Amino acid sequence: MAQDPRVLLQRVRPLQAMTCIPLPPRDVPYHHALTMLSRACPQAEKALSGASSGFSFFGGRTEKYENAADLYSQAANAFRMQKQNKEAGLAFEKAASIQTQNLNEPDDAANTLQEAFKVYRKTDPEDAARVLSTAIQHYVLKGNLRRAATQQQHLAEVYEVELGDQKQALEAYEKAAEWFESDNAEALANKYFLKVADLSALEGDYHKAIDLFERVARSSINNRLMRYSVNEYFLKAGICHMATRDLVSASRALEVYSDIDNQFPTTREYQLLSDLVQAIQEGNEKDFSDKLLQYDRLSRLDKWKTTLLLRVKDTIEGGEEEEDFS
């Protein structure tokens, strides 16, 4: 009779104490990975068993735990070379567990979990997010916000791309931005505040997107390297204003942006926003489309702008067939 994989998991389970992740049920695909890990790591398991016993003829207990952790890491890298990513991740997690619980080396454990993240990301993104979250918590507790923020952006990318969880991605990007800001990394903070703004708008939270686009524009206006993008931020904020259907606020925003940057009224972005607001006020869908097509000939509208502008256009048409500006 085959042994229950949950029993095997007790021998090579990932960081249960640190992550509070429940043991997987019988039907999850851990059985194959755990069986292979058990067979492939006899030296590591023997070293760990010897270190855990109360009596040893040779070597100190710490040395034995270090040896066990090293052997699990070596096994993980061997699995990685064979593209056996699940097994590699489990072995890295076992090494990290020893480093945390037996060697009191949380820094090493966090680094090992980053290696687990790299291999899990290829085939098991949920596990990748889990182990990286644990490493990030360690960096935050140590006050290493720059490193936490850097890893947080990788976590956000997994949520956005591999898992397709826009809500979790948005929250993760926002944390990364806030941590970069706390570490005085303004350019990196702005990069991820803009990412949050983009996702917020796509999710329909236009006011949050407006606040963030305007915030980054204000912080960039006096920065020689960042100033060139201010018109883009104003354009995106203006599109979000139109998406709220509050044309009074949209018109007022153009005045505010002109006060922030007295060159803005001379730009194509300002002219486009002004023309679009007027077309909406007049209920002139054709003029709205014509102005967009004219702009698109010189400055290609990207997917984000096209998506939002089609939503705005739909409010003029009352839900008729949409025109493709892409």
The answer on 264 and 187 residing in a single domain is no
Residue whose entry in the numeric block shows the structure tokens 């069986």 = 35
Same domain assignment for residues 16 and 90: yes
Which pLDDT score, from 0 to 100, does residue 53 have?
Answer: 54
Clarify whether residues 237 and 172 are in a common domain.
Answer: no
pLDDT of residue 236: 99
Higher pLDDT, 171 or 102: 171
Chain Cα centroid distance, residue 219: 23
Q: Are residues 242 and 322 in the same domain?
A: yes
Distance CA 127, CA 133 (A): 10
Q: State the average pLDDT over residues 140-152.
A: 97
Domain CATH code at residue 316? 1.25.40.10
C-alpha span between 197 and 186 (Å, rounded) = 16
223 and 126 housed in the same domain: no
Picking from 191, 221, 256, the residue at the C-terminal end of a domain is 191
- According to the model, what pLDDT value does residue 61 have? 78
Look-up of token digits 């990975």: 33
CA 65 to chain centre: 34
Confidence label for 322 from pLDDT (cuts 50, 70 and 90) = very low
Verify that 121 and 154 share a domain, yes or no.
no
Each residue of 236-267: pLDDT tens digit?
999 999 999 999 999 999 999 999 999 999 99
Enclosing domain of residue 16: 1-136
| Burial status of residue 277 (CB atoms within 10 A of its CB: 0-12, 13-18, 19 or more) | buried
Does one domain contain both 221 and 301?
Answer: yes
Out of 61-75, 168-182, 289-303, pick the least confident. 61-75
pLDDT value of residue 11 = 40
Instruction: Out of 120, 136, 152, pick the residue that ends a domain.
Output: 136
The rounded Cα 247 to chain-centroid distance in angstroms is 33
Q: Are residues 129 and 147 in the same domain?
A: no
Long-range contacts, stretch 175-178, CB < 8 angstroms, 24+ apart? 175/149, 176/149, 176/150, 176/152, 177/149
Scanning 102-229, the segments in alpha helix (DSSP H) are 106-123, 125-141, 145-157, 166-182, 186-202, 206-220
pLDDT at residue 56 greater than cutoff 60: no
- For the chain, what is the domain count? 3
Are 106 and 147 found together in one domain?
A: no
**What's the number of CA atoms in the CB half-sphere (13 Å) around residue 119?**
23
Same domain, 58 and 128: yes
Same-domain check for residues 151 and 80: no
Tell if the pTM clears 0.85, that is, is over it: no
Residues 147 and 131 in one domain: no
Average pLDDT, stretch 66-74?
Answer: 90
Question: 222 versus 304: which is more confidently predicted?
Answer: 304
